[in-house]
Structure 1
């Protein structure tokens, strides 16, 4: 009888962000396949879990994938974990899941943290409809075409980016999409967690002066049909989020007014009405 492939969500940074079920599965499986064995070993050590560990990442997936499928066919239960969050999202776990399903192996999700959802819900941007794009192509025509294609996407966009490419990406998005509201999450759930909220223009200025560390998650406002539908409650939330991020009230009001294509006094009035 074939084993099970468990997709186990692991913490983004704070080791306490793990479910009881995930801990049980990690203790019970025969093998744990990890994108970064050093990072996973820290997690296992923290919870006193002692199980065989093997690497499965972008550079060895073609060789290691068939090995893991063979073990699963032999009846071994395997837990797949990524660097952080849910495996299978912008990592080679996607390929392993596909091959396991082809081989009639049961794939079991064990939900856990997600950088996509974590960044989205703290962004202050609309969450009703969003699209996840992962990492943009690094260079060339493919990158230019992808950015151009997304310029008319009206849903909130979520992107991943490496710290050394962040400024370049912000600049290219600003040039191609115009100035939009953006939130940039860094070191999410960790000791030095920060979420920058502003516009693409102000974000570019900030991160050129303050180069980031750690992988970043960008949440960018979608393209307006003409101007975004003005919902006073959402406008007030954006003003408050900008102020909490350190923006002066006058600047926060001006940024939100530009975003909605409305006079600043209208945004100011909405804020006053909330206080009343």
Structure 2
């Protein structure tokens, strides 16, 4: 019986910086040997592949698109090459596949089909923000996006603050970039004055900004986060 191919989880850059600045050589070596990829966006994925492996033939690439518009029933088909002995790579739009990313759905199917999953080293904005926050890295929770409705969002912020205090747990979440400024305003207005808030934006880029202050301190010194990818972390002691 022919051995199955592997599923490689390939991190990419968090912004428009040079891959060599944040990615190990193993990423290039892996991409050099792959021609089949599962990606969120074909155009940006091709651009990333060309940037990290410029000599690779673009016409030779087979790309399956995995995003919110993809039918769940198509997911297993993306792994058919692995069942026939070919290796497949997963590339997300930014950072690490499977972390706050639809690639997790493919990984689950790979395990069900007994396909070897190989995670590769690369930048995760969530972990990098937590590392730089000075908050509890022993116990933390990633909460994804908070509710859009203003009332529901404020209720959720209070719940996260309470969970942080009761469990000594850092609470991590994100927002759509164009709503970041409003999110920071809501955080500082809802949470207790002494609750710690870390704002980490443009991580790994030349415009990187990471600061941890109390809610009260942020009120007096707000920062413009409009359309800048940002991680928010709160901790109530």
- Distance 1:138-1:99 versus aligned 2 partners, 3 A rule: farther
Q: Which has the higher contact order (CA 8 A, sep 6+)?
A: 2
CA contact (8 A) 2:180 2:227 kept: no
Q: Does 1:31 align with 2:36?
A: yes
Partner of 1:120: 130
Deviations 1:194-222 (A, max 9, x none): 22432334435655x735222211122x2
What's 2:82 paired with? 72
Counterpart for residue 19 of structure 1:
24
What is the Cα deviation at residue 140 of structure 1? 7.4
Aligned length: 222
Residues 26 and 32 in structure 1, CA contact (< 8 A), matched pair in contact too: no
Supply the distance in 1 between the matched residues of 2:224 and 2:46 (Cα, whole angstroms): 32
- SS at 2:212 equivalent: strand
Give the match for residue 149 of structure 2.
139
1:151/1:176 contact within 8 Å kept: no
Which ranges of structure 2 fall in alignment gaps of 5 or more residues? none
TM, length-normalised to structure 2: 0.80
- Find the counterpart in structure 2 of residue 4 from structure 1: 6
- Quick one: structure 1 residues 165 and 30, their matched pair in 2 at CA, closer, same or farther if it must change by over 3 Å? same
Q: CA deviation at 1:165?
A: 2.1
**C-alpha distance in 2, partners of 1:59/1:128?**
36
Deviates further, 119-128 or 88-97: 119-128
Unaligned runs of 5+ in 1: 225-276
In structure 2, the residue corresponding to 1:166 is in which secondary structure? helix
Find the counterpart in structure 1 of residue 229 from structure 2.
215
The structure with the largest alpha-carbon Rg is 1
Q: 2-side partners of 1:7 and 1:106: how far apart? A: 11
The separation in 1 between residues aligned to 2:227 and 2:217, in whole angstroms, is: 18
* SS across alignment from 1:43: helix
- The structural deviation recorded for 1:35 is 1.6
Q: Compare the two structures and name the one with the higher helix fraction.
A: 1
CA distance in 2 between partners of 1:211 and 1:150 (Å): 22
Contact 1:86–1:114 at 8 Å: present in 2 too? yes
- Cα offsets for 1:162-220 (capped at 9, x unmatched): 2222233334434543132222111111122222432334435655x735222211122
TM-score normalised according to structure 1 size: 0.70
Deviation at 1:80, TM superposition (A): 0.3
3-state SS in 1 of match to 2:67: coil
